[in-house]
Chains A and B, each alone.
Chain A
Amino acid sequence: DTEVTQTPKHLVMGMTNKKSLKCEQHMGHRAMYWYKQKAKKPPELMFVYSYEKLSINESVPSRFSPECPNSSLLNLHLHALQPEDSALYLCASSQAVGSRSYEQYFGPGTRLTVT
């Protein structure tokens, strides 16, 4: 299995809802990433997990809460989001951090709409 999978594909939520995005990989990768991509813009890094520990938080608001329960799974918990948080959320994985030339494999993304 050489793919990163993300669920759900689409999500519509109100500003008072709590929801979660899920990402899974079975390539034995030990680094996993969350990116946010607004329309016609490049992906922007949100979080990096290395060996199930949070290693980078790009000053993301606390209404986004990442979780890495094991080496294959990455979640993004959403609470009290704003309409401007509507975007495509991409998950990626790579063999490890701290080494050169590790390719990041991207999932297809979850299209989030906040109403």
Chain B
Amino acid sequence: AQRVTQPEKLLSVFKGAPVELKCNYSYSGSPELFWYVQYSRQRLQLLLRHISRESIKGFTADLNKGETSFHLKKPFAQEEDSAMYYCALKGDFGNEKLTFGTGTRLTIIP
């Protein structure tokens, strides 16, 4: 079974402060991890994935297999970062199910 846990339903951060959204997962094989974001009145869209190891909009996330975590980080929060963030896991080859965590609503305080 595959499971994704996001412990914080709500997170408020002051503009300019660092942001960390936590994500832990449970999966016995080699998963792929993603962060999806949903801005107000917009569709769900991919923010980043662990395989590409890229930084999007200043966000980064490192897969820590020892701690089974994939936390999302940004050093300096901006007001436009306010959104709903979902961590998601896709299983090995042949297991195409994308399982989402419960999501964290991030609010940036001006």
Interface residues of A (CB under 8 A from B): 31, 33, 41-45, 48, 50, 55-56, 58, 90, 97-101, 103-109
Contact B98 A45 (CB under 8 A): yes
* Contact status of A56 and B32, CB under 8 A, knowing A43-B44, A108-B43: no
Interchain CB contact under 8 A, A41 and B102: yes
Is there contact, CB below 8 Å, between A58 and B97?
Answer: yes
Q: Secondary structure at chain A's binding surface: helix, strand, loop or mixed?
A: loop
A42 lies within 8 A of B49 (CB): no
In contact, B97 and A100 (Cβ under 8 angstroms): no
- Residues of A close to B97: CB separation below 8 A: 45, 48, 56, 58
B93 engages A100 (CB within 8 Å): yes
Bound form: Cα–Cα A41–B45 in Å: 16
Is B64 an interface position by the 8 A CB rule?
no
A-B contact sample (11 more), CB < 8 A, given A42-B102, A98-B93, A100-B51 = A31-B96, A41-B102, A42-B101, A44-B100, A58-B97, A97-B96, A101-B52, A103-B46, A106-B43, A106-B45, A108-B43
- B32 near A98 with CB under 8 A, answer no
In the bound complex, do residue A43 and residue B100 qualify as a contact, i.e. CB atoms below 8 Å apart? Answer: yes
* A-contact 0/1 string along B70-103, CB 8 Å cutoff: 0000000000000000100000011011111111
Q: Which residue of B lies closest to A109 (CB)?
A: B43
**A30–B53 CA distance with the chains assembled, in angstroms:** 25
In the assembly, what is the distance between CA of A98 and CA of B95, in Å? 8
- Considering only CB atoms, which chain B residue lies closest to A94 in the complex? B96
Q: Report yes or no: B94 in contact with A98, Cβ–Cβ below 8 A.
A: yes
Output the nearest chain A residue to B50 by Cβ-Cβ distance.
Answer: A101
Contacts A/B (CB < 8 Å), 25 sampled: A31-B96, A33-B98, A42-B101, A42-B103, A43-B44, A43-B86, A43-B100, A44-B100, A45-B97, A48-B96, A56-B96, A56-B97, A98-B93, A98-B96, A99-B93, A100-B51, A101-B49, A101-B51, A101-B52, A103-B49, A104-B98, A105-B45, A106-B44, A107-B43, A109-B43
A87–B11 Cα distance when bound, in Å, is 25
